[in-house]
Amino acid sequence: MHNNNYERIKDMIFTTTTATKEFTFCAAHLLGGHDGKCKNLHGHNFQLTVTCKPFTEAMEVGEDGLIPFGSSEGMIIDFKDLKDMVNKYIIDKLDHSFIYDINDVNQCEIATLLTAKGMKVFPFEKRTTCEHLAKWIFAELRKELIPVCNIKLRESPTSYAEVTDLCKS
């Protein structure tokens, strides 16, 4: 009976496959103009989750959406390549840095002082909210042709921002 039901519905089952890798980094920031605790300099152990979809725009993939031949056969992206690229383009820049809003005079002064003392800073073009950082990370990865379709940036065990590609392909 069970098998008969499966035979009847199997052509209606559509799936998508994604490949995900997780990263962590720590960084300091503050939110200028915030009327709560976030106006103070503080840090997060950020957790970044990067999910990739089959890269149909840029490469030939099989009917199952996976790379059909070579070293990466059967993969969406080699996890090692994904790790190396996300580390290079995102984690290495942000980890153990002070991420500061270049439009905020106070934060620029702090960044100047830290830089003069040989400490790591990362200039950011907007208020350094989790949402803005997540959108920036998504755009940077896409710029490097990484087939990312979703990222989650978690700044605490209960808070994260998520960016999703709404294009179906």
CB atoms within 10 A of CB 168: 6
- Active-site residue, 96 included: yes
Residues 80 and 101: their CA atoms lie apart, in Å, by 32
- Active-site residue, 38 included: yes
- Active-site residue, 155 included: yes
Q: Which of 103, 142, 109 is nearest to 134 (CA)?
A: 142
CB 29 within 8 A of CB 128: yes
> Under 8 Å CB-to-CB from 51, ≥6 apart: which residues?
18, 19, 20, 148, 149, 150, 151
Beta strand segments in the chain, E:
19-29, 42-52, 97-101, 121-124, 148-156, 159-164
In the chain, where does DSSP find H-type helix? 2-9, 79-86, 92-94, 105-116, 130-143
Active-site residue (options: 29, 44, 52, 155)? 155
Active-site residue (options: 73, 96, 109, 125)? 96
Active-site residue (options: 38, 108, 131, 140)? 38
Residues acting as catalytic residues: 38, 96, 155
